[in-house]
Amino acid sequence: MQSKELALPQEFSLALDGVRLAGLRFGAAGGELVIALHGWLDNAESFALLANELEGVNVLALDLAGHGRSGHRPRGAGYPVWGYVADLMAVLEQLELERVHLLGHSLGAGVASLVAGAFPERVASLVLIDGLAPLVTAEQEAPAQLAQAIRWRQQPAPAARAYADRARMVQARMRGRFPVSEPAARRLVARGSRQVEQGWQWSHDLCLHAPSDLRLSEAQVRAFLQRIEAPVQLYLADGGIANALLLERSRCIRDLQIVEVGGGHHLHMEPETVAGISTPLLGFYQRLGVAVAEEVS
């Protein structure tokens, strides 16, 4: 599939209590706002291709705390998933948004689901790409989980690796846990790197690699999913992370449409597979009567 030339987004920045969040605003200047939340170690640029296909839709893609160009939390504060939930609610308050449409990929999908379960009255719709809920810890494993996290913090802070140039970072990202194409890797690296004296480094907080102090339990995750009132579209890639547990959890959601599509975990970043999301997603928004702007900036 030939994708149209990407429109230049607008930079976004918002100071919250304790952290500054950055992001990118794509598409329409008016209309209802869709807030997009990326996956672990990705950034707002991961939504550029999809947002470009959603003509007339006002998309605000955030860099989650510790990612992209957003600020880092203090060492020791960690990045529990509920911290991202609190950040997003603070964004809604500052932007004076009573309700919002949420679009999340992977980690961002888990964050969006928790927001929709904790604050069902604030979420107008929920779109999840190859992800549904955050990682869990079995109750009997919680003591060992906490001990592992504390031991990690007692060690010296990890040193950031320096690359001679961004091209090597692109190659490294292409070979990551979830491989992406070279154009997709270039977009992620462009926003997720910084120049230093020794060359280039990733801009994300290395503490994102730390073990979590605690995680929600399976029963707690399902309680959040059961409280979601918004209509939900869940996109599952045939080469993605969907498994029996994810499908079982999905049955906790009342108003759910599952869309099975071709592609890998980052299917929304690839020209060959993005239409598998953009076309049904536009139909979903039209059925909901989502107001879009008449002109695209």
Number of alpha carbons in the 13 Å side-chain half-sphere of residue 62: 32
Instruction: Quickly count: other Cβ atoms within 10 Å of residue 219's Cβ.
Output: 9
CA distance 215 to 277: 30
CA distances from 213 to 79, 110, 288 (A): 9, 18, 39
Query: What domains are there in the chain, each with its CATH number?
Result: 10-136+213-288 (3.40.50.1820)
- What is the per-residue pLDDT across 134-179, written as a single tens digit (0 to 9) for each? 999 999 999 999 999 999 999 998 889 999 999 999 999 999 999 9
Q: Read off the pTM.
A: 0.95
Q: Are the C-beta atoms of residues 78 and 213 closer than 8 Å to each other?
A: yes
Residue 4: what pLDDT? 54
The CB-based long-range contact list for 174-177 (8 Å cut-off, 24+ gap) reads 176/41
Rounded to 10 deg, the angle between the 107-118 and 81-94 helix axes is: 60
Q: State residue 5's pLDDT score.
A: 60
**What string of DSSP letters covers 36-92?**
EE--TT--GGGGHHHHHHSTT-EEEEE--TTSTTSPPPPTTT---HHHHHHHHHHHH
Please say whether the beta carbons of 80 and 114 come within 8 A. no
**Does residue 297 surpass a pLDDT of 70?**
no
Residue 10 bridge partners (DSSP): 25
Question: Shortest CA distance to 63 belongs to which of 205, 251, 167?
Answer: 205
**pLDDT tens, position by position, 10-39:** 999 999 988 999 999 998 667 789 999 999
Confidence of residue 55 (pLDDT cuts 50, 70, 90): confident
Q: How far is CA 42 from CA 4, 118, 152, 173, 280, in A?
A: 23, 25, 23, 10, 24
The predicted model gives 273-296 an average pLDDT of 82
* Average confidence (pLDDT) over 239-263: 97
Residue 2 — pLDDT band, cuts 50, 70, 90? very low
Mean pLDDT of the chain: 93
| pLDDT above 90 as % of the chain | 87
Strand 232-239 relative to strand 256-264, pairing: parallel
Whole-angstrom distance, CA of residue 12 vs CA of residue 183: 23
pLDDT value at residue 159: 87
Instruction: Yes or no: say if 108 and 87 are a contact pair by the CB < 8 Å rule.
Output: no
Catalytic residue among 46, 106, 203, 250: 106
In the chain, the percentage of residues whose pLDDT exceeds 70 is: 94
User: What secondary structure letter does DSSP report for 266?
Assistant: T
In which region does residue 29 sit, left (phi positive, over 0), alpha (psi from -120 to 50) or beta (all else)?
alpha
pLDDT recorded at residue 295: 43
Is residue 115 within 8 A of residue 88, CB to CB? The reply is yes
Give the model's pLDDT for residue 13: 97
- Average the pLDDT over 172-200 and give the result: 96
User: CA–CA separation, 205 vs 65, rounded Å?
Assistant: 9
* Alpha-carbon span 262 to 273, nearest angstrom: 7
Is 278 part of the annotated catalytic residue set?
no
Three state DSSP letters for 82-143: HHHHHHHHHHHHHCCCCCEEEEEECHHHHHHHHHHHHCHHHEEEEEEECCCCCCECCHHHHH
